[in-house]
C-alpha cells in the first residue's frame, strides 16, 4: 500500500489535481512540507494523509496558525 494526500477545499469537497503517491509516510510528509503553500494558493484548504484508503491523520488545515 502507498501513501497519498486527499486535498479538500474549505467546504470539504475534494480538490482534483495530480495525485502523487509515496512509498512511505515520511516521503509524503516531506513532499507536503515543500508544497503546502502552492496547494493553499490553488484552493486547497486542508489535507488528509491516507495509507491505501485508511486515514492516517487529518483533515489538517494548511492555513498558518495565528
- Local confidence band at 17 (pLDDT 50, 70, 90 cut-offs): confident
Tell me whether residue 54 is in a domain: yes
- pLDDT given for residue 1 in this prediction: 83
Per-residue pLDDT of 30-56, as tens digits, reads 999 999 999 999 999 999 999 999 999
Which residues are within 8 A (CB) of 51 and not within 5 positions of it... i.e. 6 or more apart? 1, 2, 3, 25
Q: Please, how many CA atoms are within 13 Å of residue 22, restricted to the half-sphere of its CB?
A: 16
Assess whether the previous peptide bond of 59 is cis (omega < 30° from 0): yes
Place of cell 485508511: 54
Tell me whether residue 51 is in a domain: yes
Domain count, the chain: 1
- Tell me the average pLDDT across 59-66: 91
Range of the domain at 38: 3-61
Tell me whether residue 37 is in a domain: yes
The structure's pTM equals 0.91
CA 38 to chain centre: 12
Tell me whether residue 66 is in a domain: no
Amino acid at each position: 500500500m502507498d501513501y497519498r494526500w486527499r486535498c479538500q477545499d474549505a467546504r470539504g469537497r475534494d480538490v482534483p489535481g495530480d495525485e502523487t503517491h509515496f512509498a512511505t509516510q515520511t516521503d509524503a510528509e516531506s513532499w507536503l512540507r515543500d508544497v503546502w503553500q502552492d496547494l493553499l494558493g490553488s484552493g486547497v484548504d486542508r489535507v488528509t494523509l491516507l495509507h491505501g484508503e485508511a486515514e492516517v491523520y487529518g483533515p489538517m488545515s494548511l492555513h498558518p496558525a495565528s
